[in-house]
Amino acid sequence: MKNKYLIIPTIIIFTSFTLKSQTLLEANGPGNTYELINSIFAPNGGNVVETPDCAHPEFGRHIAEVWDEDLQKYVFEFYIHVTPDNDRCINFDRQRVEIKTYEPSPENLKGTSGETVVYKWFFKIPTGFQPSSNFTHLHQIKPVGGDEDTPIFALTARKGNPNRLELNYYESSNQSAIKLKTIYLSWLENSWVEVTERIKIDPENGNYAITIKRINDGIVLLDYENQHLLTIRPDNNFIRPKWGIYRSLLSSQDLRDESVRFADFSIEEVNSTALNKTILENSNFSFFNDSKNKKLKVNFTLNQPSDVAFSCMLLNGQRAKEFSSYKNLPVGEHQAYLDFGNMLPGIYLLSMKTSYGVISKKMLIQP
């Protein structure tokens, strides 16, 4: 019988093994702003820019690069209008202009269990900034896969007496936000602030820390750390950052047209080690056609206890299929049976994600 699944002998290790892996997005002058952002956050193709351009084409692009006198450099300016802007012509009770990393982004721009990631950026809100009483997110840490409907962390401006900036935490999409820290929004108005956010990614005992410091006087406006938080939900594939303006329109009478400036987005992995590389490379991973059961039989060996999840992607990075995950597998040899019955013929990447990295192998599904 002709073998339906063929292994193409190429091993792609997606995990970075240097001590630090940093990606920096800086404005470099007017024009081609979306193209610049995509070239950094999706260099292999894709679109990480979410705007209401489709609803408001006469305005032009809702993110531009402008000269900032305080920083003496070009920065990104994000624009949002009460009308007619919406959420990408998809949702009309909210509106957004945001940038992000996502599935096609390089692996070092996606946070997975066991990693520690540091995000840094600058932003400035204008005097009299008017947030919604529902939500106006300026930054989110969003999960991908599984329970992904709400962010895990969000910096949320909210109307009140006075207006405030909240650090909110969502353990699951079924639970209301927990306010971890609150400061007066007026402390940030018309002043550049620097944000440093550090996340040790773990579904039970993660470490989260964030500091917001005003640039002109060095005063720390917000400082928070917790070493026992869920920083990725158990069924998530990875976490990713989002920056911009994402606000509710349910109380649109409270809002005004706004522009918020951002600069120098930095994403840095700080804990990829040679030890993880050795563990990962010594974890055997092979698969064979099981024609009787019309499934793929996967043999794999773990040299450290780990959660394991299998997924399949197209070569352009688009996720094609996710399979069952396995929790708390011990050291030793293991088997998994994956059903590829409804997948189209073609070349795919079959990935095995562990707590210490990801191994992917090319696989050909024949007609």
Residues 119 and 256 in one domain: yes
Q: What is the pLDDT of residues 330-339, one digit of tens each?
A: 888 888 888 8
Residues 233 and 291 in one domain: no
Residues 211 and 283 in one domain: no
Residues 278 and 191 in one domain: no
Residues 35 and 50 in one domain: yes
pLDDT band (50, 70, 90) for residue 11: very low
Domain boundary (269, 299, 330) is at 269
d(CA 52, CA 244): 12
d(CA 83, CA 55): 9
pLDDT above 70: residue 261: yes
Residues 256 and 279 in one domain: no
Residues 251 and 287 in one domain: no
Q: Where are the beta strands (DSSP E) in 215-305?
A: 220-229, 238-248, 258-269, 285-290, 295-302
Backbone angles phi, psi at 300, to 5 degrees: -150, 150
pLDDT above 80: residue 125: yes
pLDDT score, position 356: 64
Residues 197 and 343 in one domain: no
Q: Average the pLDDT over each of 67-76, 182-191, 288-297, 304-313 and give the range with the smallest value.
A: 288-297
For range 180-208, the mean pLDDT = 96
pLDDT band (50, 70, 90) for residue 271: low
d(CA 267, CA 24): 7
pLDDT score, position 326: 87
Domain boundary (235, 269, 303) is at 269
Q: What is the pLDDT of residues 79-116, one digit of tens each?
A: 999 999 999 999 999 999 999 999 999 988 999 998 99
| CATH number of the domain enclosing 41 | 2.60.120.200
Q: Residue 358: count other Cβ atoms within 10 Å of its Cβ.
A: 19
pLDDT score, position 205: 85
306 vs 11, which has greater pLDDT? 306
pLDDT band (50, 70, 90) for residue 216: very high
Q: What is the pLDDT of residues 24-82, one digit of tens each?
A: 999 999 999 999 999 999 998 999 999 999 999 999 999 999 999 999 999 999 999 99
For range 212-239, the mean pLDDT = 95
Domain boundary (245, 269, 293) is at 269
Q: What is the pLDDT of residues 226-246, one digit of tens each?
A: 988 999 999 999 999 999 999
Q: How far is CA 32 from the centre of its chain?
A: 23
* Residues with Cβ within 8 Å of residue 192, at least 6 apart in sequence: 70, 71, 122, 123, 124, 214, 215, 216, 261, 263
Q: What percent of the chain has pLDDT over 70?
A: 86
Residues 174 and 135 in one domain: yes
Residues 253 and 350 in one domain: no
For range 171-199, the mean pLDDT = 96
| CATH number of the domain enclosing 352 | 2.60.40
pLDDT score, position 10: 36
Residues 148 and 131 in one domain: yes
Q: Average the pLDDT over each of 28-32, 42-46, 200-204, 287-291 and give the range with the smallest value.
A: 287-291
pLDDT score, position 171: 94
Q: Residue 129: count other Cβ atoms within 10 Å of its Cβ.
A: 22
**How many folded domains does the chain comprise?**
2
Hey, is 280 helix, strand or coil? Answer: helix
For range 202-227, the mean pLDDT = 94
Q: Which domain holds residue 327?
A: 5-13+273-365
Whether the model pTM is above 0.75: no
pLDDT band (50, 70, 90) for residue 282: low
pLDDT score, position 357: 67
pLDDT above 60: residue 7: no
Give the pair of three-digit tokens for residue 24: 């920096």
- Calculate the average pLDDT of the chain: 86
Residues 220 and 304 in one domain: no
